[in-house]
Amino acid sequence: MDSAAWQTLVTPYQRASTRKALWQLANTLVPFGLSWGLAVRLLDVSRALSLASCVLATGFLLRIYIIQHDCGHRSFFPDRRANDALGCLLGVVTLLPYFRWRHDHAIHHASGSHLDRRGTGDIWLMTLREYTAATPMQRARYRAFRNPLVLFGLGPLALFVVWQRMTGWTRTRREAASVRATNAAIAGALWLGGHCLGWRTFLAVQGPITWMGSTIAVWLFYIQHQFDDTYWAAPPDWDFATAAMRGASWYRLPAVLQWFTGNIGIHHIHHLSPKIPNYELPRCLEDNAAFRTVPTVTLLQGFRAATLKVWDEDGKRLMTWREVDQRVGSRKRRLPELDQL
């Protein structure tokens, strides 16, 4: 698809709507607050029912992530300042300092599926040549990182709760100020919650929501770019439109999950045109048959993606550990069952 063709297709959907944006805010923030409060009330009745309400609140937290994400692309509201103001406020809930996240995410969009520009705003991926040339310690670190218990368990919590609180890797004063301001606001919210509800109650509700929300957020980001039949390339073969249409998945979720994830599964269109608000992505997909002929990933198919570990430059596909070990001739580890997860 040439540049003129896809730009013509996406242009009609790049208009943000204040009315639609406000409605999405209302049907997200209000039920998030209600489900959060219900989880608190249910703690004295049943921990299982309270946890069920936490699961519901997590669904609305995902929508809050997507709204902040759209603000970062300045596509949620028509007004730039409104996007930035809302994005900063939502960072207190998502734990993401808005201006630093926006900068890193912009790099991710500019370098999606680009083998020579990995490392900012993406998930660590090694090529087969890199892995073959790596030292035993480097291989061990990479295998530990790609283990699902780390990548989707401990890692997301460390990323959102700890790593996002640090200013050491900020690039500008505004990014550093964004981190500090977000940290101060989060500290204030924590103090208020602990003071009003008691720390045990507050953490019994917010803890599971934060863990589930961060884990699902990382999973969504992962499955949108690391799946069977995905695309990675280096110059001169890399192409922006191809990276969007083949390197970003159409994650075909059931309707209710697509709603809770803010249509972000229609990720190929989002990468082709980040200026399209999330609430316009389904209409763009429905109106244009060209966007329905891309690699798709269903809910069940997505779980296979967790077994894909290394990019084979020659075969142009992702490989499992079993395939990597057969190619590289690595010895079996003492705990091989963990390597195959």
Tens of pLDDT, residues 139-155: 999 999 999 999 999 99
Q: Could you tell me where the DSSP H helices lie in the chain?
A: 3-10, 18-42, 47-72, 80-94, 98-110, 128-133, 136-146, 148-149, 155-157, 173-197, 199-223, 240-247, 255-260, 267-272, 281-287, 299-302, 321-328, 336-339
Please say whether the dihedral angle defined by the alpha carbons of residues 309, 310, 316 and 320, taken in this order, is positive or negative: negative
Which pLDDT belongs to residue 25?
Answer: 98
Which pLDDT belongs to residue 179?
Answer: 95
CB-count burial class (<10 Å; 0-12, 13-18, 19+) for 201: middle
Token readout for 151 is 């990548």
Do residues 35 and 53 touch, judged by C-beta distance below 8 A? yes
Beta bridge partners of 310: 126, 319
Q: What CA–CA distance (Å, rounded) separates 86 from 84?
A: 6
Which pLDDT belongs to residue 168?
Answer: 81
Which pLDDT belongs to residue 6?
Answer: 84
Q: What CA–CA distance (Å, rounded) separates 52 from 57?
A: 9
| DSSP classification of residue 249 | -
CB within 8 Å of 187: residues ≥ 6 apart: none
Which pLDDT belongs to residue 21?
Answer: 98
- Amino acid sitting at position 65: Y
Which pLDDT belongs to residue 164?
Answer: 94
- Give the chain's residues under pLDDT 50: 330-335, 337-338
Task: Give the pTM.
Answer: 0.92
Q: What are phi and psi of 179, to 5 degrees?
A: -65, -45
Q: What are phi and psi of 311, to 5 degrees?
A: -90, 125
Half-sphere exposure of 272 (CA within 13 A, CB side): 30
Do residues 212 and 58 touch, judged by C-beta distance below 8 A? yes
Which pLDDT belongs to residue 338?
Answer: 45
Do residues 14 and 273 touch, judged by C-beta distance below 8 A? yes
Which pLDDT belongs to residue 334?
Answer: 41
CB-count burial class (<10 Å; 0-12, 13-18, 19+) for 97: buried
Which pLDDT belongs to residue 1?
Answer: 59
Q: What CA–CA distance (Å, rounded) separates 296 from 53?
A: 31
Do residues 217 and 62 touch, judged by C-beta distance below 8 A? yes
CB-count burial class (<10 Å; 0-12, 13-18, 19+) for 264: buried
